[in-house]
Amino acid sequence: MISNSLVYLIALPLAGAAILLLAGRRSDKWGHLLATALSASSFFVGLYQLSLMLGRSNEQRPISQKLFEWISVGSFKIDAGLMLDQLSICFVLLITGVGTLIHVYSISYMSHDPDRRRFFAFLNLFIAAMLLLVLGDSYLNLYVGWEGVGLASYLLIGFWNQKPAYATASKKAFVMNRVGDMGLSFAIMIAFATMGTVSFTGVKAAVEHTSTAALTGIGIMLLVAATGKSAQFPLQAWLGDAMAGPTPVSALIHAATMVTAGVYLITRSNFIFDAAPTAQLLVVIVGAVTLMFGALIGTAKDDIKKALAASTMSQIGYMILGAGLGPVGYAFAIMHLLTHGFFKAGMFLGAGSVMHGMNDEVNMRKYGALRKFMPITFATFGLGYLAILGVPPFAGFYSKDMIIETAFNSGGIKGIILGSVTLLGASITAFYMTRVMILTFTGKSRWDDQAHPHESPWLMWLPMAILAIGSVTSGYLLSHGNALVNWLSPLFENHGEHEELLSPIVVSGLALTMVAIGVAIAFLKYSRNQVSDVAPENVSIFTRIARQDLLQDRFNESVFMRPGQVLTKILVRTDDSVIDGAVRTVGRAAMGSGASLRGVQSGFVRSYAALILVGAVALIAAIWVVTQ
């Protein structure tokens, strides 16, 4: 179906960003209100579209809008177009809904910052770019949004770029994202070369006439793109440093929305991965490796935001793994993505609230006993905590258990390995999240002298409370009567039922047992003993490695950065000596011959005359010799 109102979803926040950036300081007084209002109105447009979509039959639900003819060269035509279907509407509501809540939160959180208006302009820019990413009707349109969110992420991570470390963090995120972006551009190029089209519908139709090799290539390149944007192994190292940005940014971009773009990309490209089993297997492996990787890092982090970032990495690992399990997994990946958007954004906002009350201290070893001073933050964070653990009936129970169950039932050895990994990941998640809870909210206080913890103003706790409600209810609502699975099913090929290795009730029991073990270990380790306010030094080699993010930075530095620098130096030196050298030699030869000839120009007329005479005589002599 054709619609002509989709563009407003993007245009509203984009206009906000433009107005705030162009009006400059003049909009300092009202800029944040305008940005919040525009983000909220985009959310309401999304709700309106959802109500329209609910009123249509399954086949009629996807709608599209052609914006303009973008590229037209000979037979090659690409339109800039938007498409809203059952998958994108989930993202639209998540982005604008959580985005608006975080706008509201930021009004208070950033109220002391002189550049609050600029912050809101970037937030609106991000919302617009992310909406373009999920609404684009071709890989090329998606790519525009993909780059847009990368830009917004860069601007917001480096929002306080007066600190060199923060500026470096934003640059690191940008550069690592570019590696992934290369993957996406290669995927688009391969798709265009083999299929002659880059639109989703065109590629979907062309899949059956395309060789498996090309599809595998596209799939692997799309996976590279997803690993970059979603901080998955092996391009995961930027996410921890991205916590340099203001906390609302971490909540919106680096927990709820942008980092899940990779999951969107893989789910959107389901027709490619279903036809390319090798690429699909790689997706599962990346997901499994990352979910363990993130979980292990999370156990060793004392910085509350970095612990949550590691957790995000791990949870997105679950989603990627789910998306790699094929048609049965896509819907569960999206469900986990949505519930994760609620509880992780809520917990990040909670962390921001704690930092707000503790003089921007991020070290959890300097917290403790905050439960009494921040009851609302404790309650909302606690609900998010129960949700991420997967305790029934909270959101994570429905979404994460479904992924674990699907992993177990994916068949054979692969299913048992994947199931065990996801179970173990759930246990480690329980351990590190319990650690965060204990260190932050219970035990004795280990504050600095200047700290005067207090509850945050209502503008901050209201979004946290709404997200906490989402963390409690969203899982039940989305899975009640298989609501989300049925909603999304028209988009995915159905290959029938897999044989069941373990029944759902057994999986849930196993998962809850593993979670209980993780919680119990954390309690034994951190609740019974007094926690030191400095990180202990005499720890095992494993802890030390986990504290250094499993050596990811050192690996990247020694394998890519240093050889890269050496290569650059060699190239610079070659350029200097060979290319510049040749040019300089030519110049020097001309100058040298000029200098030696300059002596002839003495300025004495008589010597010129003598030279002319000699020349004339020589010429005549030469002619005489030749003609004789």
Partner 1 sequence: MDAANYLYLSALLFTIGAVGVVVRRNAIVVFMCIELMLNAANLSFVTFSRINGDLNGQVIAFFTMVVAACEVVVGLAIIVTIYRSRRSASVDDASLLKR
Binding site for partner 1 (CB under 8 A): 601-606, 609-610, 613
Nearer to partner 1, 33 or 613 (CB): 613
Nearer to partner 1, 450 or 601 (CB): 601
Bridge partner list, 78: 71
Q: How many CB atoms lie within 10 A of CB 602?
A: 11
321 contacts 403 by C-beta, under 8 angstroms: yes
* Min CB(604)–partner 1 separation in Å: 5
* Min CB(591)–partner 1 separation in Å: 18
Between the CA of residue 305 and those of 14, 132, 312, 436, what are the distances in Å?
29, 28, 10, 10
Nearer to partner 1, 1 or 611 (CB): 611
181 contacts 150 by C-beta, under 8 angstroms: yes
Nearer to partner 1, 211 or 601 (CB): 601
11 contacts 65 by C-beta, under 8 angstroms: no
- Omega of the bond leading into 392 within 30 degrees of 0 (cis): no
Smallest Cα–Cα separation from 400: which of 315, 289, 313, 519? 315
Q: How many CA atoms lie within 13 A of 10 on its CB side?
A: 23
* Min CB(593)–partner 1 separation in Å: 19
Nearer to partner 1, 520 or 611 (CB): 611
* Min CB(174)–partner 1 separation in Å: 57
Nearer to partner 1, 68 or 604 (CB): 604
Nearer to partner 1, 29 or 606 (CB): 606
* Min CB(627)–partner 1 separation in Å: 17
* Min CB(616)–partner 1 separation in Å: 9
Rounded to 5 degrees, φ, ψ at 73 are: -125, 110
* Min CB(602)–partner 1 separation in Å: 6
DSSP string, 369-392: -TTTT-HHHHHHHHHHHHHHHT-T
Rounded to 5 degrees, φ, ψ at 279 are: -60, -40
134 contacts 96 by C-beta, under 8 angstroms: no
299: tokens are 């156990």
Between the CA of residue 179 and those of 81, 174, 183, 439, 561, what are the distances in Å?
26, 9, 7, 37, 13
Nearer to partner 1, 551 or 616 (CB): 616
Torsion of CA 490, 494, 496, 498, to 10 degrees: -110
* Min CB(589)–partner 1 separation in Å: 24
Catalogue the E-assigned strands of 331-433: none
Nearer to partner 1, 578 or 613 (CB): 613
Smallest Cα–Cα separation from 86: which of 109, 112, 116, 53? 53
Q: In this structure, what DSSP letter does residue 362 have?
A: -
Check residue 32 and give left, alpha or beta (phi > 0: left; psi -120 to 50: alpha): alpha
Bridge partner list, 77: 72
* Min CB(626)–partner 1 separation in Å: 21
Nearer to partner 1, 558 or 602 (CB): 602
C-alpha 150/C-alpha 225 separation (Å) is 12
* Min CB(592)–partner 1 separation in Å: 20
